[in-house]
Amino acid sequence: MSITDALRGLLVVSRRIAAEDMTKWVKSELEGYPEDERVPIYRRGGRLPISLRFDGPGGFRDTMRVMPSDLPRELQPSDSLGDLIQPIAELAALASNDEGKDPALQMPMAWIGLYREFASKGQAPSMAMMNLNNATMVIPQTLLIGMIDRVKSFALDLVLDLEGVSLEAGAPGGPTVETSKALASAVTINFNQVYAANSTVAVGQNASVTQLTIGDVSGLLEAARALLTEDGVTALSEALEKDGGEPAAETRDLLDRVKTGAYALTTGLATNGAYDGLVALLGAVFPGFGG
Q: How do residues 117-151 score in pLDDT, each as one tens digit?
A: 999 999 999 999 999 999 999 998 888 998 999 89
286 has pLDDT over 80: yes
201 has pLDDT over 60: no
Alpha-helical regions (H) of the chain: 3-16, 20-31, 88-95, 109-120, 141-165, 181-194, 217-224, 230-242, 249-259, 271-285
- Interior/surface letters 262-280, b for 16+ CB within 10 angstroms, e for the rest: bbbbeeebeeebbbbbbbb
How large a percentage of the chain has pLDDT more than 70? Answer: 89
The amino acid present at 97, given as its one-letter code, is N
Residues 171/16, Cβ–Cβ less than 8 Å: yes
More confident residue, 44 or 113: 113
The amino acid present at 106, given as its one-letter code, is Q
Residue 41: pLDDT band (50, 70, 90) is confident
Stated pTM of the model: 0.62
Q: Mean pLDDT throughout 21-44? A: 90
- pLDDT at residue 12, as a whole number: 97
SS3 198: strand
CA atoms within 13 A on the CB side of 38: 17
3 membership: H or E segment, kind and range: helix 3-16
SS3 122: coil
Residues 161/193, Cβ–Cβ less than 8 Å: no
The C-alpha atoms of residue 125 and residue 163 are separated, in whole angstroms, by: 55
Nearest-10 Cα torsion for 56, 58, 64, 70: -10
* Per-residue pLDDT tens over the stretch 222-269: 888 888 899 999 999 999 999 998 899 999 999 988 887 888 775 545
- 41 CB-near residues (< 8 Å, 6+ apart): 194, 195, 196, 197
Residue 10: pLDDT band (50, 70, 90) is very high
The C-alpha atoms of residue 9 and residue 30 are separated, in whole angstroms, by: 12
Ramachandran class of 46: left when φ > 0, alpha when ψ lies in -120 to 50, beta otherwise:
left
- pLDDT at residue 40, as a whole number: 86
The rounded mean pLDDT for the chain is 86
104 membership: H or E segment, kind and range: strand 104-106
